[in-house]
Amino acid sequence: AQSVTQPDIHITVSEGASLELRCNYSYGATPYLFWYVQSPGQGLQLLLKYFSGDTLVQGIKGFEAEFKRSQSSFNLRKPSVHWSDAAEYFCAVGSYDKVIFGPGTSLSVIP
């Protein structure tokens, strides 16, 4: 069965520092991988997605993610965090006809 783990429940970074959020998945075939962001009081918004091809994927708001098949990982990165990036981040894996979300990582940004 497919599953998604996000090892870090909560991360705090200083504004301007780099960020990496970890995601590991379990799926038998080549997965569809997503990162979504949820700002306080709002629904989820897609940051980026990977289906095939280049393993480094660019998304909105300056985020990128790298697919590493050998490690079953799809980590999200940003070189310089802004205070407005404080939110909940969800990694997700899509199979044939549904998407399973990870537990989320809460990001706090210190000014």
Q: Residue 46: how many CB atoms within 10 A of its CB?
A: 12
Phi and psi at 71, nearest 5°, equal -105, 0
**Residue from 98, 105, 106, 107 binding other proteins (CB under 8 A):** 98
| Secondary structure element (H or E) that encloses residue 11, with its range | strand 10-14
Q: Which is nearer to other proteins, 69 or 79 (CB)?
A: 69
Q: Which is nearer to other proteins, 11 or 99 (CB)?
A: 99
**70 Cβ contact partners less than 8 Å away, ≥ 6 residues apart:** none
Q: Which is nearer to other proteins, 24 or 81 (CB)?
A: 24
Q: How many residues line the site for other proteins (CB under 8 A)?
A: 22
**Residue from 42, 55, 58, 108 binding other proteins (CB under 8 A):** 42
Least CB distance from residue 81 to other proteins, whole Å? 23
**Residue from 83, 84, 103, 108 binding other proteins (CB under 8 A):** 103
